[in-house]
Amino acid sequence: MLDSERELRHFMRKKYQIFISSTYIDLVEERKHVQQAILEMNHFPVGMELFSAASTSQWEIIKQTIDSSDYYVLIIGYRYGSKADDGIGYTEKEFWYAKEKGVPILAFLKKEGLPCKVTDIEAEPENKKKLDQFIEAVKDNREVAYWSSKEELSRKITMSLTKEFDQNKRCGWISLKNISVQDIFFDMTSHERNICKRDQIRFTKRLRLHARTGYSFIAQNGVFYPVIRDALKNGMDFRIVIQNPWSLNSVLFALNGEAFDHKARLQNDTSHTLQYKEAFLLYKKGDWYERFSSCLRGFKRLKEEFGDKINLRLTDMDLSNSILLSDKSLYFEPSDTVMHIGKKSLPLFEVEFDNTSEQYRSCENVFELMWEQGCDYDDYIEKEPFFMDRLKRLIQIRTMI
């Protein structure tokens, strides 16, 4: 492990993969300048120069490279460029693919009327028309920057990327040298971790989630709902286990959260102990139960649209750890009860393991155990009055101890 937080932050500085998209023959020198500028920023430029002959088609390699990139830099000169079999230029195809995949796009257009070689100008009328249409599409609802020299281009790309890194953070790459894998998400905000998860969900065909508070995944106003819905459209199979809101574990966790006054906690100190009716009513009126209700509404809507592609179960077991299993990765968040109850503003500790790890297989087994133990949605709806009454009695017993 590292000796100080400063060292940790230094070693964990993310490096981004940046896809450079442009025509080639007319922009060789500009591309070299941009690549060098990105390397000097300690990030990774990728583009057509790195594509070698392979059995996979060129377009498939391009798509895979864009998929793994954090940002997409588009440079447009005076040529439309080589076209694929469908008649669309490769540069334009790359742009539309990056847009479809949600990769942040930074566009740089060469100023009109600059002196250049005849071969650097589009000569074919059909391609000139395609180029003009492509430029208009790029400029639609997007700020673009203009350049007149390779030096100006490199400078503007450096400035734009620096701003984008700050305002639109991506997963990036982190060196694990001298760092245990348990630290991989130590220095990431919740928003950054969610970006990583959304990128995984977009392309997975099988997703498993169990979490005490995983309501944001399928609540209609949640940050993951649109991505989950798109993934289900693409054939993903999704199973979810969440904690029964009428279990004692749920109410103890919720009533110790910051959404409630500290005097409303269930404690052994009888001077601060709620009567069971007060605790129950406070819980039902609180933010916790409303978020759960929103989760159920979101699930019902997705279930009506996608049928058996999505299934939900509820468990009385204490889901103190969150597990998200995609085809490729396990996201594991160990939630220490002492550390996290009532301290929701603390940075969370989360780890990513790949699907070949022992941790991945272990968490798969844990998920299946939770799944077998839980009740399904229809059974829960039918038995909810029973669960509510049981919770009242459990709270009453606890407050009498």
Q: Which of 46-50, 101-105, 338-342 has the lowest mean pLDDT?
A: 338-342
> 273 in a domain, yes or no?
yes
**In the structure, what pLDDT confidence band is assigned to residue 285 with cuts at 50, 70 and 90?**
low
Domain encompassing residue 75: 17-167
**In the structure, what pLDDT confidence band is assigned to residue 258 with cuts at 50, 70 and 90?**
very low
pLDDT at residue 10 in the model: 41
137 and 193 together in one domain = no
d(CA 384, CA 308): 23
> Each residue of 62-84: pLDDT tens digit?
888 898 899 999 999 999 998 88
Question: To which residue do tokens 């930074």 refer?
Answer: 106
The CATH number covering residue 236 comes to 3.30.870.10
> Residue 271 — φ and ψ, nearest 5°?
-70, -20
Mean pLDDT over 98-109 rounds to 94
At which of 167, 200, 223 does a domain end?
167
The amino acid present at 363, given as its one-letter code, is C
d(CA 92, CA 97): 9
3 state SS for the chain = CCCCHHHHHHHCCCECEEEEECCCHHHHHHHHHHHHHHHHCCCEEECHHHCCCCCCCHHHHHHHHHHCCCEEEEEECCCCCCECCCCCEHHHHHHHHHHHCCCCEEEEEECCCCCCCHHHCCCCHHHHHHHHHHHHHHHCCCCEEEECCHHHHHHHHHHHHHHHHHHCCCCCECCCCCCCHHHCCCCCCHHHHHHHHHHHHHHCCEEEEEECCHHHHCCCCCCCHHHHHHHHHCCCEEEEEEECCCCHHHHHHHHCCCCCCHHHCCCCCHHHCCCHHHHHHHHHHCHHHHHHHHHHHHHHHHHHHHHHHEEEEEECCCCCEEEEECCCEEEEEECCHHHHCCCCCCCCCCEEEECCCHHHHHHHHHHHHHHHHCEEHHHHHHHHHHHHHHHHHHHHHHHHC
pLDDT at residue 394 in the model: 67
158 and 233 together in one domain = no
**In the structure, what pLDDT confidence band is assigned to residue 273 with cuts at 50, 70 and 90?**
very low
79 and 222 together in one domain = no
**For the chain, what is the radius of gyration of the CA atoms?**
26
If one compares 262 and 253, the residue with the highest pLDDT of the two is 253
Q: Which of 11-15, 134-138, 220-224, 225-229 has the lowest mean pLDDT?
A: 11-15
d(CA 202, CA 226): 10
pLDDT at residue 377 in the model: 87
> 262 in a domain, yes or no?
yes
> 174 in a domain, yes or no?
no
How many domains does the structure of the chain reveal?
A: 2
At which of 103, 136, 167 does a domain end?
167
pLDDT at 340 over 50: no
Q: How far is CA 122 from CA 32, 116, 171, 259, 379, in A?
A: 22, 12, 38, 62, 66
pTM: 0.50
Q: What percent of the chain is predicted at pLDDT more than 70?
A: 71
80 and 110 together in one domain = yes
> Each residue of 50-65: pLDDT tens digit?
664 444 577 888 888 8
Contact 357, 225 (CB under 8 A): no
Top mean pLDDT of 149-158, 214-223, 341-350, 376-385 is at: 149-158
**In the structure, what pLDDT confidence band is assigned to residue 301 with cuts at 50, 70 and 90?**
very high
> Residue 381 — φ and ψ, nearest 5°?
-60, -40
> 182 in a domain, yes or no?
no
139 and 270 together in one domain = no
pLDDT at 356 over 70: yes
At which of 111, 138, 167 does a domain end?
167
d(CA 324, CA 360): 10
Angle between helices 377-400 and 248-255 (to 10 degrees): 70
Angle between helices 248-255 and 287-306 (to 10 degrees): 130
pLDDT at residue 363 in the model: 82
136 and 241 together in one domain = no
214 and 290 together in one domain = yes
Contact 391, 254 (CB under 8 A): no
> 173 in a domain, yes or no?
no
> 178 in a domain, yes or no?
no
Mean pLDDT over 93-105 rounds to 94
Considering only CA atoms, which of 230, 223, 156 is closest in space to residue 190?
A: 223
Structure tokens at 173: 């790459």
Contact 296, 243 (CB under 8 A): no
241 and 383 together in one domain = yes
Q: What percent of the chain is predicted at pLDDT more than 90?
A: 28
213 and 142 together in one domain = no
> 3 in a domain, yes or no?
no
The CATH number covering residue 30 comes to 3.40.50.10140
161 and 251 together in one domain = no
d(CA 339, CA 337): 6
318 and 351 together in one domain = yes
> 350 in a domain, yes or no?
yes
> Each residue of 173-193: pLDDT tens digit?
765 454 434 334 544 566 667
137 and 258 together in one domain = no
Mean pLDDT over 197-204 rounds to 81
If one compares 236 and 352, the residue with the highest pLDDT of the two is 236
d(CA 341, CA 37): 46
